[in-house]
C-alpha cells in the first residue's frame, strides 16, 4: 500500500512538472522549439529566412521595451520572469538583479556573433535553433 501511494504521488508530481506552461518555467528550463521558431520569425522582419544584425538589434530594443513594464529603463527580476524566450537571462553583466538597456544590447550582440556559425553576417533559422539546442541541450 505504501509503495502504491509513493507511485501515485510520483506520477502526480511528474504530471504537474511536465504540464507547466512556458511562463512558469524556471530560468534554466528551455523555451519550446515552437517559441524559438516564432521568435526567429518575429526578428526576420523582411521574411527572407535570415536575421541580420540590424533586425536582431531592432528586436532587442522592442523586446526590452515590452519587458520593461514600469518603464524604469531596467528589466527587474519580476519583469524578466515574463520573458518566455529566456534571451535576457544572461544579460545581467554586473549581477545586480536588473538588466539595463546597455546590458541587453551587449548580450544580443554576443548572441548574434555566437549564432552566426558561418560568419556571413546573417543568421538562418537553423543557426538560431542550433544555438539554443546547444545552450539548453535539447
**Tell me, what CATH number does 114's domain have?**
1.10.238.10
For residue 25, what is the enclosing H or E element?
Answer: none
Parent domain of 59:
2-136
Using CA atoms, how far apart are residues 68 and 62, in angstroms rounded to an integer? 10
Give how far the C-alpha of residue 1 lies from the chain's centroid of Cα atoms, to the nearest Å.
44
Mean pLDDT of all residues in 66-94: 87
Question: Do residues 75 and 104 touch, judged by C-beta distance below 8 A?
Answer: yes
Output the pTM of the full model.
0.69
What's residue 3's pLDDT?
Answer: 52
Q: Helices 33-43 and 125-136 meet at what angle, rounded to 10? A: 140
Tens of pLDDT along 11-30? 333 333 333 332 233 445 67
Number of domains in the chain: 1
Amino acid at each position: 500500500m505504501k509503495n502504491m501511494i509513493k507511485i501515485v504521488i510520483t506520477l502526480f508530481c511528474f504530471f504537474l512538472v511536465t504540464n507547466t506552461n512556458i511562463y512558469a518555467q524556471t530560468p534554466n528550463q528551455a523555451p519550446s522549439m515552437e517559441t524559438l521558431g516564432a521568435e526567429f520569425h518575429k526578428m526576420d522582419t523582411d521574411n527572407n529566412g535570415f536575421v541580420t544584425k540590424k533586425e536582431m538589434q531592432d528586436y532587442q530594443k522592442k523586446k526590452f521595451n515590452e519587458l520593461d513594464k514600469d518603464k524604469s529603463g531596467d528589466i527587474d527580476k519580476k519583469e524578466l520572469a515574463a520573458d518566455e524566450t529566456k534571451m535576457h537571462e544572461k544579460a545581467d553583466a554586473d549581477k545586480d538583479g536588473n538588466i539595463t538597456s546597455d546590458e541587453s544590447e551587449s548580450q544580443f550582440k554576443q548572441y548574434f556573433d555566437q549564432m552566426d556559425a558561418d560568419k556571413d553576417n546573417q543568421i538562418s533559422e537553423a543557426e538560431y535553433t542550433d544555438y539554443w539546442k546547444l545552450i539548453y541541450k535539447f
